[in-house]
Structure 1
């Protein structure tokens, strides 16, 4: 079947050598390498299903190899709910071409036409009769040393037998049973253990410390002072931990002064000089039915931590004239480039291998700790050193999800329909990962690089711009434009605040969490002003049939009752969105108990992510996203004062506990002919808004500032 070579997926176009993606190994196994890494989202299972489907082999034959920068496909960053849509598309096309190449080779070996050949579990059939020839009998290594052409089409969905069916998550058994699996579990011969000593809060200069006392402690191999970078290497991990604690008691740091504190952050953001960008200004030219009723509201979101259960970790050693590093980074290739720039060595002297970390998503400390490990290993002659951040390091020094302020204004016409819509958002930039803000000078996104005696300048903080319709990403303006709704006028303005009270970067859903929270909360306020049921009000304005479908399904499965009246002890709210305006559709109905505490008791969701590779995987993603969104919405907030961060432990930064997880139902809409859409981040904003709407339904009082706590409720 012919295929348009111009339509090669970007991942395959950038990594066209087929041997990069697949190789056939002993014991009749298939080794697959994807540029999208496993960070707990189940992508390894989905990629195995895609490969098995296209290659016509049993799923249990497929092994997913760890991604390395030595020959693995460079697909950029694993982020933005794009792994299946982008990485899966690249792997699917590569496997389709590999299957075709091997069929042609088998036909030549068997003396027949390729049309007579089919494949069953890697074995070739000739005119339906099984032969003795298999993939593994062919010179596959030689045959796959060629570039993809795009001239072979993948299977149509109607022929799928593995994709679209539930498959057990490959990563879960080890995690559930506590078996070694994570980067933290790697134990190399002769491995040493390191800790980095940083100030209690903030990024400040080291004034002095008692080096002699540290060197005299048991097991200490090296004490490293390089500018304000202070590190310890010990024979055993507990010795490194003890030395770090002793160092903190004697270390002296310059004073810190932040420009504001967490209690003032919202007003501070709006008052700062900012770079305003009009991201949408649309008018359909129709005259509104007057008189108009104007409504406005302001919504806020605090700085949020990633709150990873396992602190960031890395392992480094000298190897082959360069450095070998194990990392749970989501961006191995950009991290390699950044580390090479800091060390001033060629790229080929830095080899990174991905290993799952017990806590990694968004831009947390995974990249920073990789450089920490290299610097400590360098100080002990290149011996292998494992470095793990302490809990307080993780909270105090990771890049946070930026605080945001969102103001929404609208006008209702005489019929109660939305006639005008305007949204303004204020935020710091949402991106400071390695490799995303390349400059001509030797700059770095890595924390340790800025503190060395010969410091590497800090790479600039940026905010990813919105792309054209259909490929929207963006940072502070992600989901600020309401494309699923039909508003006669819509103006959206992003206000980028470049002054940073705290280090900030990418956190799950980027700006969509605050924007959807504001939009879907405000729609309930408009429905109340129009005297309409929140479900009916949305359906009246929704222009996207797939958005309507998920909203109606969630409402039906939850038993939504129009005009339901609360007795003040419970409430029900709903919300809907299409993540990033081009990825997954998600709607949710939340039941909230307000007596004696605010608690979500039930969440019923509907999801449309186009073609589903692994239904269980999508449901897992939705369930996990709902749980985290509840935690963000009811509990989480980075607290800080002008002299630094206060939230450095679980007492100061509480998260949702296991006993607080509600009953969750997730219903999938089958759409196998549609392109696969991402599921990882679609839940965050709608869940937050549905909680706020449920609270307003229960108490006829609205909290617009996150997190929604009893203290904020009592302050109304």
Structure 2
């Protein structure tokens, strides 16, 4: 995992390289932007998204190096990207390697989020590779004096289709680079000719991970590195009034106590010395109690100022139709504040040298982080380099960017490379949070029980994406990018069903209790949860089978197919919910859910089978069935990995996870106060994939998580006859609901 070293001499000694780059971001100003090359150890490698040299290099050894702005967060993206490139270049997979997320070497393809790594990043690399292959065939034709259409590429060689000697890629590019713009119309391979794409390929990263050879960010070291710990305020908005540096004067190896505004840290030669100094350092802080009372969170959300309304669908006249309905249903659903809870707390290393800043980070948005570090330190972005190193726990915008900000500030203060390792309390207490979501819904049913009107209102924060101010910059009073992108957390508030009168509105709240940021399937999960659970309420009120009720209102053939196939997979028995017999110590039920992700890609349907202990309220999910259609599948093994991870992680969130806090700070600072699912409760996940090789590839990293909360809620109702509308469905909540029923 050490960062590659490049020099002009080394590059030329390898016989030159063909470097091809491409971006499909041909919309708006980005397509016109010119990005300067970044100096890197003696030569400048282009990273512009529309330049030939940005994405791909073929060396004299016949190997291809792919430069991907998207990174592997443990999701198998590296393997999928390698498959795509190898397929398009007609190379064996073992002759393709991937460099990820190094801002000096890779183009800015946007943060790794939204299930876009293959759909966007992979497609860009595919097009670049297709253009490179076409140019290689053209060069070979010129060399051999034959038309290009009489040649074929295979195994890194271009040869005549009729047989005979060929020319290797290395020979074709040994005179240097091809200064070439990628043609967006370059023909990619026909799916019928695929030999790698669509085939299960073992993850490239797994062997080293299971044998302990893999270097995570938490394991990474650089020469001359020292260690630091940040001393956090006891309350989020507390001010630092005084520091007693004498209280740590006797700690061996202490280098410096760093104070800048409300930012306080210790730097030491050894990590243990930094830990002890942070524990002993005496500091006085002001009081602060700016958080709402937790037991009044939803009143706080309702009272929060609305900055704007996003009307996400408006068909017919929902209000008028509600007034004419035979039956009107109303319900409110809420989804708790969640932390990322990364198993490995966040970590980063930063080094200031000769006016340049280098940061080794597990950030999923290295190019955006580069801009944040530049703003914080006053440097130009061109002299800031962020190098991606995979983190042990890095899904979503957790604390890795903030650890990078800590390290950058401290390296500047002591003039040496500084490693900052967050503690468990740092991670749980200071990472950005999945914000609270509150949804109010109404439905009007006609005399036959069909939905004649649907109206929903979502209370969600205006800022919910990844451009979150860095904690270090905020505490130190340093410049930072303050604008919070609203993000796409409005997605899936609109519904996929063909009801005649529908109005869905997202009220964007001006503030939220904690810094909001991505956690897997942000917005889409919470919105789908409310919609699909409330739709089940409508089915129950109509006395209808929940599957049939969906199929009646769904006009999308691909959506119908995933629902029908999951019903077959789970051996669904048509009947209304709940079950007729709810006696016994253990209650059993099943629930169904469906999503068309963002209403334009990846279809998922799922069925949860659950067990509820009547005496304790404890919920178990022995089996979860999933059918997914994400278009063209690159690596079915990788897609199954993602579905397994989605179901297991989201099950934990739905049954157990909730941030607790007092008026000043987070109080769920360890695994005892923020429990997660453990191995004995991991369900059997039964998956069926629909592969469409001739279609575009869509995302697989998030969509299947969106169906889990509603499937569990629906199964709970089926088992107990009680509707739970507040995530998480803890034993205490379930038991109380059962006793009240």
Scaled by the length of structure 1, the TM-score of the pair is 0.92
Confirm or deny: 8 A CA contact 1:98 1:144 kept in the other structure.
no
Asked whether 1:494 is paired with 2:540, we answer no
Equivalent in the alignment of 1:399:
432
Confirm or deny: 8 A CA contact 2:316 2:502 kept in the other structure.
no
Worse-matched range after superposition: 322-331 or 193-202: 193-202
Equivalent in the alignment of 2:589:
571
Q: Matched residues in 2 for 1:594 and 1:409: separation?
A: 28
Equivalent in the alignment of 2:479:
456
Q: How many angstroms does 1:141 deviate by? A: 7.2
Equivalent in the alignment of 1:105:
139
Equivalent in the alignment of 1:262:
294
Asked whether 1:635 is paired with 2:638, we answer no
Equivalent in the alignment of 1:692:
713
Q: Matched residues in 2 for 1:301 and 1:462: separation?
A: 21
Equivalent in the alignment of 1:645:
666
Q: Structure 1: where are the runs of 5+ without partners?
A: 435-443, 465-473
Q: How many angstroms does 1:8 deviate by? A: 7.1
Confirm or deny: 8 A CA contact 1:406 1:424 kept in the other structure.
yes
Q: The residue matched to 1:318 in structure 2 has which SS?
A: strand
Q: Matched residues in 2 for 1:285 and 1:524: separation?
A: 23
Q: Matched residues in 2 for 1:26 and 1:547: separation?
A: 48
Q: How many angstroms does 1:291 deviate by? A: 5.0
Q: Structure 2: where are the runs of 5+ without partners?
A: 1-21, 33-47
From 538, 549, 556, the counterpart of 2:568: 556
Q: How many angstroms does 1:281 deviate by? A: 4.6
Confirm or deny: 8 A CA contact 1:200 1:396 kept in the other structure.
no
Worse-matched range after superposition: 132-141 or 686-695: 132-141
Deviations 1:59-95 (A, max 9, x none): 1110001321114111111101111111111001000
Equivalent in the alignment of 1:418:
451
Q: Matched residues in 1 for 2:437 and 2:402: separation?
A: 25
Equivalent in the alignment of 1:30:
64
Confirm or deny: 8 A CA contact 2:435 2:512 kept in the other structure.
no
Worse-matched range after superposition: 209-218 or 233-242: 209-218
What RMSD over aligned residues (CA atoms) do the two structures have, in Å?
Answer: 2.1
From 480, 491, 499, the counterpart of 1:478: 491
Worse-matched range after superposition: 624-633 or 193-202: 193-202
Confirm or deny: 8 A CA contact 1:209 1:252 kept in the other structure.
yes
- Cα distance change of structure 1 residues 603 and 141 upon mapping to structure 2, 3 Å threshold: farther
- Cα distance change of structure 1 residues 598 and 6 upon mapping to structure 2, 3 Å threshold: closer
Deviations 1:178-216 (A, max 9, x none): 223211222222221111111244242112232122232
Confirm or deny: 8 A CA contact 1:12 1:94 kept in the other structure.
no
Q: How many angstroms does 1:288 deviate by? A: 6.5
Asked whether 1:194 is paired with 2:265, we answer no
Q: How many angstroms does 1:457 deviate by? A: 6.0
Confirm or deny: 8 A CA contact 2:604 2:629 kept in the other structure.
yes
Equivalent in the alignment of 1:389:
422
- Cα distance change of structure 1 residues 281 and 74 upon mapping to structure 2, 3 Å threshold: closer
Equivalent in the alignment of 1:591:
609
Confirm or deny: 8 A CA contact 2:238 2:288 kept in the other structure.
yes
- Cα distance change of structure 1 residues 12 and 31 upon mapping to structure 2, 3 Å threshold: farther
Q: How many angstroms does 1:129 deviate by? A: 2.2
Q: How many angstroms does 1:283 deviate by? A: 2.9
Deviations 1:105-130 (A, max 9, x none): 11222222211211111012123425
Confirm or deny: 8 A CA contact 1:157 1:673 kept in the other structure.
yes
Equivalent in the alignment of 1:469:
none
Q: Matched residues in 2 for 1:57 and 1:9: separation?
A: 28
Q: Matched residues in 1 for 2:191 and 2:574: separation?
A: 39
Equivalent in the alignment of 1:173:
207
Q: Matched residues in 1 for 2:523 and 2:464: separation?
A: 11
Confirm or deny: 8 A CA contact 2:67 2:105 kept in the other structure.
no
Q: How many angstroms does 1:144 deviate by? A: 2.9
Deviations 1:252-310 (A, max 9, x none): 22112124122211122112221341413533489979652100100001111011111
Q: Matched residues in 2 for 1:456 and 1:40: separation?
A: 32
Asked whether 1:312 is paired with 2:324, we answer no
